[in-house]
Amino acid sequence: MDDAAVIPQRPGFDLVVTKDAIVEGVHFPSGEAPDLVARKLVRVNVSDLAAKAAEPFAAFLAVAWPTGFAQRDRERFAMGLASDLEAFGLDLMGGDTVKTPGPFTCTLTAMGWVPTGRMVRRAGARPGDKLLVSGAIGDATLGLAAVMGEISDPDGRLTHRYRIPEPRVDLRETLRRHATAAADVSDGLIADARHIAEASGVGLTIDLDRIPLSGAAATWLEGQADVAASLLRLGTGGDDYEVVCTMASGVRKPTGFTVIGEVREGAGVEVLAAGRPVDPGDGGWRHG
- The DSSP result for 37-100, as a single string, is HHHHHHHHHHHHHHHTTPEEEEEEEEEEEETT--HHHHHHHHHHHHHHHHHTT-EEEEEEEEEE
Grouping H, G, I as helix, E, B as strand and the rest as coil, residue 262 is strand
Grouping H, G, I as helix, E, B as strand and the rest as coil, residue 219 is helix
Q: What is the mean pLDDT of residues 221-241?
A: 96
- The CATH T-level fold of domain 13-115 is 60s Ribosomal Protein L30; Chain: A; (3.30.1330)
Domain limits, the chain: 13-115, 130-278
pLDDT number for residue 8: 75
Q: Are the C-beta atoms of 203 and 197 separated by less than 8 Å?
A: yes
- The residue count of the chain comes to 288
Which helix (H) or strand (E) segment is 221 a member of?
A: helix 215-222
> Is a pLDDT exceeding 50 seen at residue 254?
yes
The CA-based angle 142-240-162, given to 5 degrees, is: 50
Select from 26, 51, 42 the least CA-distant residue to 108: 42
Confidence at 287, pLDDT banded by 50, 70, 90: very low
Mean of the per-residue pLDDT values for the chain?
94
CA 278: distance to chain centroid?
Answer: 24
What is the pTM for the complete model shown?
0.94
Select from 288, 277, 119 the least CA-distant residue to 206: 277
Grouping H, G, I as helix, E, B as strand and the rest as coil, residue 211 is coil
> Is a pLDDT exceeding 50 seen at residue 231?
yes
> Is a pLDDT exceeding 70 seen at residue 1?
no
- Reading phi first (left if > 0) and then psi (alpha if -120 to 50, else beta), residue 19 is in beta
Confidence at 288, pLDDT banded by 50, 70, 90: very low
> Is a pLDDT exceeding 60 seen at residue 167?
yes
Q: Are the C-beta atoms of 185 and 241 separated by less than 8 Å?
A: yes
> Is a pLDDT exceeding 70 seen at residue 55?
yes
Select from 109, 38, 27 the least CA-distant residue to 69: 38
The pLDDT tens digits of the residues spanning 60-81 come to 999 999 998 999 999 999 999 9
Confidence at 91, pLDDT banded by 50, 70, 90: very high
Half-sphere exposure of 90 (CA within 13 A, CB side): 31
Identical fold, 13-115 and 130-278: no
pLDDT number for residue 68: 86
The pLDDT tens digits of the residues spanning 132-155 come to 999 999 999 999 999 999 999 999
> Is a pLDDT exceeding 80 seen at residue 6?
no
The CATH code belonging to domain 130-278 is: 3.90.650.10
Question: In percent, how much of the chain has pLDDT > 70?
Answer: 97
pLDDT number for residue 284: 53
> Is a pLDDT exceeding 90 seen at residue 165?
yes
What are the residues whose beta carbons fall under 8 Å from the beta carbon of 208, sequence distance 6 or more?
A: 228, 231, 232, 234, 235, 260, 271, 272, 273, 278
Q: What is the mean pLDDT of residues 259-269?
A: 97
pLDDT number for residue 286: 55
Q: How far apart are CA 212 and CA 134, in angstroms?
A: 8
Candidate from 65-69, 109-113, 156-160 with smallest mean pLDDT: 65-69
Q: Count each helix (H run) and each strand (E run) in the chain, helices first.
A: 8, 11
Q: What is the mean pLDDT of residues 198-223?
A: 97
* Identity of the amino acid at 137: I
Q: Are the C-beta atoms of 181 and 123 separated by less than 8 Å?
A: yes
